Amino acid sequence: MKNSFNKFFGLHDLKDHWKTDALSGFMVFLLALPLSLGIAKASDFPPIFGLITAMFGGVVVSFIMGSPLTIKGPAAGLIVIVAGAVAELGHGDNTLGWHLALGAIVVAGALQVLMGYLKLGKYTDLFPLSAVHGMLAAIGIIIMSKQFHILAGQSPIGTDGKALSEPLDLIMALKDTIAHFFDHKEVAIIGLISLGIVFLWPMLPFKALKKIPSALIVLLVSIVMVQVLKVHNTETFKPLLSFDKSLLDILQVNESFEGFNQFGTFIKFVIMFALVGTLESLLTVKAIDLIDPEKRKSNYNKDLVAVGLGNMLAGFFGGLPMISEVARSSANVNNGAKSKWANFFHGAFILIFLIVDVSFSDMIPLSALAALLIGVGWKLAHPREFGSTLKIGADQLIVFVSTIIMTLATDLLVGIAAGMLMKMILHVLRGVGIGQLFRLKIISTDHVIKVNSPVVFTNFLKLVNEIEQKDYAQEIHIDFTNCRFIDHTAIETLHLKDLDFKNAGGHLNLIGLNEFRPVNKSMHPASARIKK
């Protein structure tokens, strides 16, 4: 019983690593504090509830998560979905929309728990990487298109007198915002200086300074500038963040399931919360596993259950949906974290902040938070994403751009579906039969799997299932001699599987891959390939 208790709570890790984990947790807290506030505000949630999500993600979820070094909290990648849920479910009433969106978050969390228990985390491999990256780039563009207006203290209005919310409308309105950029001069100055810190701070030549999160520097500098420039909220113009209630005042059940009355809209957002949140979270777990100094293998399904339970808890009490967040998780690794206690400490420091003092929030300018989110959006949609995709292959760029365009024009679900459809069309044009897209011919023995038909993202799970039945401590051979085509997503996943085998003491021997070549000369060796 004692050993089980110690194992569940990781008390041995706490005893061995509490100093390094506490320090890393504190550094991540400094990064998470302003970002959580900004993400909540951009999502049309009361800002303090971004901190509630991060607090639950650390203090509670740490003990049940399946990945030792990831940080759980609100994510910029879900801003578009959360704000959309508030707007569509609330029909213009943000308070009502918040309560109804919480109901969708709770249901989505329950769906994630079910997915984890059914071991469906592997189904993320169904989504081609180029479409997933296209979706994230589109989210980045949408974030920047909205936050640039806020950075200048403006809220563009449509011809109907209502605030613009659609991505393409916000992008088209940028010319007017730029023309009137300094109408609120003090706000714009704070925004520009904050934006400069976001982009220039990581370029400093001093390693010691670079370890301090740029988000913390933005927060401190912008608070000082608010005092110097005498910026304050008025009845008609509110450039400063504000929340005047304590933790005990806000910690109550806030969700409402009345959104079921708008069944189609409600279910759409449940699916988007569950689908996009799961994709982002599991992709982060995979990425952090690769940079874990101890090369530990996370339990993806256990982590999905943990995130789902965290979302149910956060949703009940008013918080945003949480994921394993990539920037904070990377910072956690870089700051020397050793175990899940770093995530716990990050949440504990946020809890202390919520208990002790949130009164300075009315000194935080929204333009500074907008600058932080523009930085996040820029990373998601960085021009190098286009260049990296093109290096993989012109076809991957087509899928990537198609996903971006359809996401901006419609929504995330339609966008990623369009990317998947484009990928299938390109495969068919290369000679993959329509039936072969969904059917994979393999012959499996104890140590050899023979692949006798094209391997693409839509049929790849059959091969994954077969691999997972093998002993990872042994040498397993996958023979592609009779396979004529392999796509990029399958290749990348096979390489990750090989790492899993190596970590377990085995080896995944991919026979015949050297007989394949890229489908065009511009392609990266790990892109879609056909037989020579």
pLDDT in tens, 221-268: 999 999 999 999 888 898 998 776 677 778 888 999 999 999 999 999
**Comparing 499 with 378, which gets the higher pLDDT?**
378
pLDDT grade, residue 443 (50/70/90)?
very high
Domains, the chain, with CATH or none? 2-144+184-376 (no CATH), 435-531 (3.30.750.24)
Residue 520 is predicted with a pLDDT of 61
Residue 5 is predicted with a pLDDT of 57
Per-residue pLDDT reduced to its tens digit, 100-147 = 999 999 999 999 999 999 988 877 777 888 898 999 899 999 999 999
Whether the predicted pLDDT of 504 surpasses 90: no
Burial track 185-207 (b if 16+ CB lie within 10 A, e otherwise): ebbbebbbbbbebbeebeeeeee
- Give me the mean pLDDT over the 280-295 stretch: 84
Percent of the chain having pLDDT more than 70?
95
**456 and 440 Cβ atoms separated by less than 8 Å:** no
- Give me the mean pLDDT over the 360-381 stretch: 90
pLDDT grade, residue 524 (50/70/90)?
low
| Three-state DSSP state, 75 | coil
**372 and 253 Cβ atoms separated by less than 8 Å:** no
pLDDT grade, residue 395 (50/70/90)?
confident
DSSP letters along 185-235, please?
HHHHHHHHHHHHHHHHGGG-S-HHHHTS-HHHHHHHHHHHHHHHHT----S
- Among residues 170, 76, 136, 81, the alpha carbon closest in space to that of 416 is found at 136
**Comparing 3 with 289, which gets the higher pLDDT?**
289
**259 and 266 Cβ atoms separated by less than 8 Å:** yes
Residue 66 is predicted with a pLDDT of 92
Half-sphere exposure of 403 (CA within 13 A, CB side): 31
Residue 413 is predicted with a pLDDT of 83
Distance CA 340, CA 333 (A): 11
Return the bridge partners of 529, or none.
Answer: 486, 518
Number of Cβ within 10 Å of residue 495's Cβ equals 12
Distances, alpha carbon 352 to alpha carbons 245, 248, 279, 325, 456, in Å: 15, 13, 31, 21, 49
- Residue 166 DSSP code: S
Task: Check the CA dihedral 9-13-16-22 and report its sign.
Answer: negative
- Give me the mean pLDDT over the 195-200 stretch: 96
Residue 357 is predicted with a pLDDT of 67
Whether the predicted pLDDT of 465 surpasses 60: yes
Which has the minimum average pLDDT: 322-336, 356-370, 518-532?
518-532
pLDDT grade, residue 429 (50/70/90)?
very high
Per-residue pLDDT reduced to its tens digit, 4-50 = 656 666 777 788 788 999 999 999 998 999 999 999 999 999 999 99
- Give me the mean pLDDT over the 459-479 stretch: 93
- Residue 240 DSSP code: B
Enclosing H/E stretch for 451: strand 448-451
- Give me the mean pLDDT over the 510-521 stretch: 76
Residue 16 is predicted with a pLDDT of 78
Angle between helices 79-90 and 129-151 (to 10 degrees): 70
Percent of the chain having pLDDT more than 90?
65
Whether the predicted pLDDT of 523 surpasses 70: no
Residue 18 is predicted with a pLDDT of 87
Distance CA 147, CA 165 (A): 11
Q: pLDDT averaged over the chain?
A: 90
**Comparing 513 with 174, which gets the higher pLDDT?**
174
CA angle 428, 283, 63 (to 5 degrees): 150
Residue 79 is predicted with a pLDDT of 94
Per-residue pLDDT reduced to its tens digit, 172-187 = 999 999 999 999 999 9
Distance CA 111, CA 270 (A): 9
**Comparing 69 with 516, which gets the higher pLDDT?**
69
Whether the predicted pLDDT of 2 surpasses 60: no
Per-residue tokens: 291: 């940079």
Residue 358 is predicted with a pLDDT of 62
Whether the predicted pLDDT of 361 surpasses 70: no
Strands 529-531 and 507-511: unpaired
- Among residues 142, 113, 171, 189, the alpha carbon closest in space to that of 42 is found at 142
Return the bridge partners of 486, or none.
Answer: 455, 529
Distance CA 250, CA 264 (A): 30
Residue 286 is predicted with a pLDDT of 82
